[in-house]
Amino acid sequence: VNQTRVQAFARLGTIIGHELAHSIDGIGVNFDEYGNYNPMQTTSDDVRTCIRASGYRTRNEDFADVVGVHVAYTSFGEDSPEFFTDFAQMFCTQPMTPLQEQEFVRRSAHSTPAFRVNNVVESVFAFKTLYNCPLDSDDDAYACINLF
C-alpha cells in the first residue's frame, strides 16, 4: 500500500496503539503475560476516568482509541495536522439515521464513528495544542496529560 509516513502512523500506528492499550484497560489488566486470569491492583480505573466514554459498554474501546492515537502521534514525533485528518478519515461513513445509530450502539462494543473521532480530539492534548484550543485548568485533557 502506498502511504506517506504520516498516514502510516495515523492509521496503522493508531490501530497498533489501540490494541496494545487493551492490555491495560479494565479487562486486560486482569490477565498475566501468559493470558491466564490473574487480577492485580491497578490504577486503570483512575486512568479511564480521564477518558470520556459514550457508555459503560464502550469505555474500554474509548480508552483504547485515545491511548492509541496518543501513542501513534507521540511515536510519529512531528507536529502534523495531517496526522489527525488521516486518523479521522479511517472513520468516514455515511451519516447514520437516528434508528441506525441506536442499532449500532446497541450491538457494538465501539462508540459511533463520529464519537470516536470527536472523543479522541477532545482528549488528546497534542491536538489541542496543535490547533491552539483553549485549555482551562479543569479541562480533562490538561488534567490527564501526565497519565501518558
Three-state secondary-structure class, residue 26: coil
pLDDT tens digits along 111-136: 999 999 998 888 888 998 898 887 76
pLDDT tens digits along 71-104: 999 999 999 999 999 999 999 999 999 999 999 9
pLDDT, mean over the chain: 83
Of 118, 130, 121, residue with least CA distance to 80 = 130
Query: What global pTM score does this model have?
Result: 0.80
pLDDT tens digits along 37-78: 887 655 455 555 566 667 778 888 998 999 999 999 999 999
Q: Which residues pair with 37 in a beta bridge?
A: 31
**Contact present, 135 and 142 (Cβ < 8 Å):** yes
Q: With 90 as the cut, is the pLDDT of residue 13 above it?
A: yes
What's at 117, amino acid-wise?
Answer: V
